[in-house]
Chains A and B, each alone.
Chain A
Amino acid sequence: MFDVIYINNDEGGFGGPSRVAEGTTVQQFLEQKLGNYDPSRYLIRVNRAPCVADQVLHANDRVTLSPTKVDAA
């Protein structure tokens, strides 16, 4: 197990460390965090760069989730 930094801009943008098992992919990690999520609703970045769903996470990776739609008021 290791830590990655997880920042979800869809839920107030709070970021912090999150424990992840070895070999966990981005998709698995986000499923753990969000349940059945729709990837088209998010811009997903790992270490500030676009990523693929089966990219394996490493210690201290920074996973950022930003919604593609933000309802202004």
Chain B
Amino acid sequence: MNDRALAKISSKIYEEFTNSKERSSEEVLDYLKKTTRYFQASEEEIQRLITRHRFLARDSGISSIAVKTARYDYIQQACKRTTSVIDQLSDTISLVRDQVVYYTEAMQRYKNQLDRNQYQLPFTNRDAFEELMQIEREFGGYGYNSKHKQLSVRTDYITLPDEEENHVDLGRFEIVLDLNKLNENPSRRPYYINALDPHPASMDEELVHPHVRNNSLCEGEGAVAITRALNDGRICDFFTIVTQGLSTYNPDSPYLPLKEWFYSARCARCDRLLSDDDIYRCGECEDPICDECSYFCERCDTSICDNHHYMCDRCEVTICSECSNQCSICNNMMCPGCTENCADCRQDICNDHIANCEECGDLLCQNCVIVCPDCGMAVCSACEEDHDCERENEEMFITSYTETGNIVDWTKDQREIHKNME
């Protein structure tokens, strides 16, 4: 880049840095004025409420005389009004508390500003120019987006050693300083990090560096130095510190430890790290599980976790919920091989609670078996109508089982009555 272009950019950068400092001071002053006004207004409001409270107390007769004369209704009304005033007071105090926190932070920022101004490194247009020259030397160039007023540099390929000295290649990064945001809240950094050749963690596509999330570097030890550098207009120092932060791995507090970078998941049951080849996913909840924590449905071969596997209560094979049937009589979980479908009610029944219609041979659950009181034949509802036996009694008896397993004989009418009672 030629000197003329460099001078033009440095001039804009100088302007932004100078403006940001001036705006910061104005902002702090504005905070102070607002604080004063707010506390004055709050004090007046509290005084007004206290006066009103006293007045109400007197007016309503909350006094020893009132109590003595037992004017309970009067006292009751007074209490209600007092409660309302106390509520208002409480709200006001709560608001004041919030504002105190807010303005304390503003004061803190003001103090920091004063501290910083104890010795302010000179920052002139010439300094901005020299900063850019230095950036060009140190980083081999920079980018300047005049539309968005963003200055950026690119790092070299960054490779970091993990806890076991295995190197993880993270690619190059771009550090973008947004000059428009220099005077924003200090907690909101005016820069962001872009991964140019992202090598994200297998577990989290968003994680491109162990200390960067959502394009933001968790600055750690570098935080104060970064703030100072930006405040002094030492742009090259700022880029250098951020680059060193990106080039250093701190195993004590990464978003994700580098040793886990290439593992795709953790077993949802035993927390073991799993690479792509080691992952089994539960067919029910889709949680990643390791081979030791996974079960396989012996019917459909789906892998399932321990929360979603069942064992057939009869033959003890492992089954998934898709392949399991619940007996409508005993509620036990069974594999399809150990259950049948009732021809009448279509519900699943285990082999212990199944019967055959002696007329048509259909399988029935015990609830649907109808026993002829004359011949004792067990039939289904379809065959009941055609059942032809010599009966003296016109009523057909129905056998059903109580919860305790006792057989109860009901006539049809009795059963209707019983149903209605239930």
- Segment at the B interface, from A24-32, A51-59, A64-72: A64-72
Q: Which residues of A contact B240 (CB under 8 A)?
A: 9, 43, 66
Interface check B362, CB cutoff 8 A: no
Interface check A23, CB cutoff 8 A: no
Within 11-51 of A, Cβ neighbours of B (below 8 Å) are at 12-17, 43, 45, 48-49
Which among B222, B246, B247 has the greatest number of chain A C-beta atoms within 10 A? B222
Which single member of B121, B133, B217, B229 contacts A5 (CB below 8 Å)? Answer: B121
Tell me the minimal C-beta distance from B84 to chain A in angstroms.
Answer: 49
Give the bracket for the number of chain A residues in contact with chain B. Answer: 20 to 34
Known: A68-B244, A69-B248, A72-B248. A10 touches B225 (CB 8 A): yes
| Chain A residue with the shortest CB-CB distance to B223 | A73
Interface check A63, CB cutoff 8 A: no
> How far is A49 from B252 in the complex, measured between Cα atoms in Å?
34
Known: A5-B121, A13-B228. A70 touches B245 (CB 8 A): yes
Q: Which residues of A contact B226 (CB under 8 A)?
A: 13
**Do B219 and A9 touch (CB < 8 A)?**
no
**Do A13 and B221 touch (CB < 8 A)?**
no
Q: Which residues of A contact B145 (CB under 8 A)?
A: none
Tell me the minimal C-beta distance from B75 to chain A in angstroms.
Answer: 60
Q: Number of contacting residues on B, CB 8 A?
A: 34
Interface check B234, CB cutoff 8 A: yes
Q: Which residues of A contact B42 (CB under 8 A)?
A: none
Tell me the minimal C-beta distance from A41 to chain B in angstroms.
Answer: 11
**Do B119 and A9 touch (CB < 8 A)?**
no
Known: A69-B244, A70-B220, A72-B220. A48 touches B130 (CB 8 A): yes
**Do A72 and B217 touch (CB < 8 A)?**
yes
Cβ-Cβ contact count across A and B, 8 Å cutoff? 89
Secondary structure of the B contact surface, majority rule? helix
| Chain A residue with the shortest CB-CB distance to B242 | A70
Within 127-148 of B, Cβ neighbours of A (below 8 Å) are at 130-131, 133-134, 137
> How far is A10 from B237 in the complex, measured between Cα atoms in Å?
11
Which single member of B217, B218, B236, B252 contacts A48 (CB below 8 Å)? Answer: B236
**Do B218 and A66 touch (CB < 8 A)?**
no
Which single member of B131, B227, B253 contacts A73 (CB below 8 Å)? Answer: B253
> How far is A14 from B222 in the complex, measured between Cα atoms in Å?
12
**Do B121 and A73 touch (CB < 8 A)?**
no
| Chain A residue with the shortest CB-CB distance to B246 | A72
**Do A13 and B237 touch (CB < 8 A)?**
yes
Tell me the minimal C-beta distance from B237 to chain A in angstroms.
Answer: 6
Known: A64-B237, A71-B250. A12 touches B224 (CB 8 A): yes
Interface check B340, CB cutoff 8 A: no
Interface check B309, CB cutoff 8 A: no
| Chain A residue with the shortest CB-CB distance to B133 | A48
> How far is A70 from B245 in the complex, measured between Cα atoms in Å?
5
> How far is A73 from B210 in the complex, measured between Cα atoms in Å?
9
Q: Which residues of B contact A70 (CB under 8 A)?
A: 220-222, 225, 241, 244-245, 248
Tell me the minimal C-beta distance from A39 to chain B in angstroms.
Answer: 15
**Do A7 and B121 touch (CB < 8 A)?**
yes
| Chain A residue with the shortest CB-CB distance to B250 | A71
Tell me the minimal C-beta distance from A71 to chain B in angstroms.
Answer: 4
Tell me the minimal C-beta distance from A6 to chain B in angstroms.
Answer: 11
**Do B237 and A71 touch (CB < 8 A)?**
no
Apart from the given pairs A66-B241, A72-B248, 13 other A-B contacts in the complex at a CB distance below 8 Å: A10-B225, A13-B224, A13-B234, A13-B237, A13-B241, A15-B121, A15-B232, A49-B137, A66-B240, A69-B244, A69-B248, A72-B211, A72-B222
Contact surface of A with B, Cβ cutoff 8 Å? 5, 7, 9-10, 12-17, 43, 45, 48-49, 64, 66-73
Nearest 4 A-B pairs (CB), nearest first? A73-B220, A13-B228, A13-B225, A72-B211
A sample of 12 inter-chain contacts (CB < 8 A) reads: A9-B241, A13-B224, A13-B225, A13-B229, A16-B119, A45-B134, A48-B133, A49-B137, A70-B222, A71-B250, A72-B221, A72-B222
